């Protein structure tokens, strides 16, 4: 690295220090709350598996998946805010694009028929089902709108590297980290909507009567299938 580049990065670090400190202050409570939610959801999922409560399992499995995905997205945001220099930001951006692509591709299947049936079986209200459908639709629209860009970035720069080195460098130079951050923020908004509904649905599983209903329902479904 040249002395000029080093000086530029030093100036950038000094100018953005306040921004980074403000981000850390604001993100801290969310990080702590998310970690607590992950621990609680993981425990609830393990308990449901031991009781053969399949609808509860399905809902908590999706909830844990989404919380872990949300944690990864938050970690990428932290890394991007703290990154110094365009090379480092592009490195983070290309890998975040892979996460966005893989998650946006997988979520419609994860939130599919089996999951929706589990939500209904647990007694979700029509309003809750509508909110879930709207949030899921938002994720599907995101996938249709951005999959070409994310897929191209993933294919050329990260999951599968372009073998033509000059083309690889050109694509990397054209990658705009702020654009990827904007897509990540859009995706996180849809993700938070789904998580908010699942928090409401999870309350339907509290208490022995709810678990017993789910166990009876799971036994009946297994008998019908067998």
Q: Quote the mean pLDDT of the chain.
A: 82
- The reported pLDDT for the residue numbered 11 is 47
Average pLDDT for residues 69-75, to the nearest whole number?
Answer: 91
Cα–Cα distance for residue pair 216/71, rounded to 1 Å: 34
Placement of tokens 């008998």 in the chain: 223
- The reported pLDDT for the residue numbered 99 is 94
User: Residues 115-164: pLDDT tens digits?
Assistant: 898 888 888 889 989 999 999 999 999 999 999 999 999 988 887 777 88
Cα–Cα distance for residue pair 35/29, rounded to 1 Å: 10
Cα–Cα distance for residue pair 46/92, rounded to 1 Å: 33
Average pLDDT for residues 29-43, to the nearest whole number?
Answer: 87
Cα–Cα distance for residue pair 11/119, rounded to 1 Å: 52
User: Residues 95-106: pLDDT tens digits?
Assistant: 999 999 999 999
Cα–Cα distance for residue pair 194/84, rounded to 1 Å: 33
Cα–Cα distance for residue pair 123/108, rounded to 1 Å: 22
Cα–Cα distance for residue pair 221/152, rounded to 1 Å: 42
Cα–Cα distance for residue pair 40/163, rounded to 1 Å: 45
Q: What is the separation of C-alpha 33 from the centre of its chain, rounded to a whole number of angstroms?
A: 16
Query: Which one has a higher pLDDT value, 69 or 212?
Result: 69
* Lowest-confidence pick of 35-39, 83-87, 183-187: 83-87
176: left (phi over 0), alpha (psi -120 to 50) or beta: beta
Cα–Cα distance for residue pair 44/162, rounded to 1 Å: 43
């Amino acid at each position: 690295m040249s002395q000029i580049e080093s000086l530029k990065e030093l100036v950038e670090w000094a100018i953005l220090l306040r921004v980074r400190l403000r981000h850390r202050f604001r993100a801290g409570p969310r990080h702590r709350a998310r970690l607590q939610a992950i621990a609680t959801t993981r425990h609830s999922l393990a308990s449901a598996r031991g009781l053969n409560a399949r609808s509860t399992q399905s809902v908590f499995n999706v909830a844990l998946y989404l919380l872990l995905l949300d944690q990864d997205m938050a970690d990428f945001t932290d890394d991007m805010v703290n990154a110094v220099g365009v090379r480092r930001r592009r490195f983070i951006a290309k890998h975040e694009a892979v996460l966005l692509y893989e998650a946006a591709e997988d979520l419609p299947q994860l939130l599919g028929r089996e999951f929706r049936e589990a939500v209904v079986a647990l007694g979700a209200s029509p309003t809750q089902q509508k909110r879930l459908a709207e949030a899921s639709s938002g994720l599907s629209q995101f996938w249709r709108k951005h999959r070409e860009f994310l897929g191209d970035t993933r294919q050329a720069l990260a999951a599968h590297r372009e073998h033509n080195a000059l083309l690889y460098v050109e694509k990397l130079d054209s990658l705009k980290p702020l654009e990827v951050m904007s897509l990540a923020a859009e995706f996180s908004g849809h993700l938070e909507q789904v998580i908010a509904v699942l928090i409401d649905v999870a309350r339907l599983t509290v208490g022995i009567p709810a678990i017993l209903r789910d166990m009876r329902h799971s036994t009946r479904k297994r008998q019908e299938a067998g």
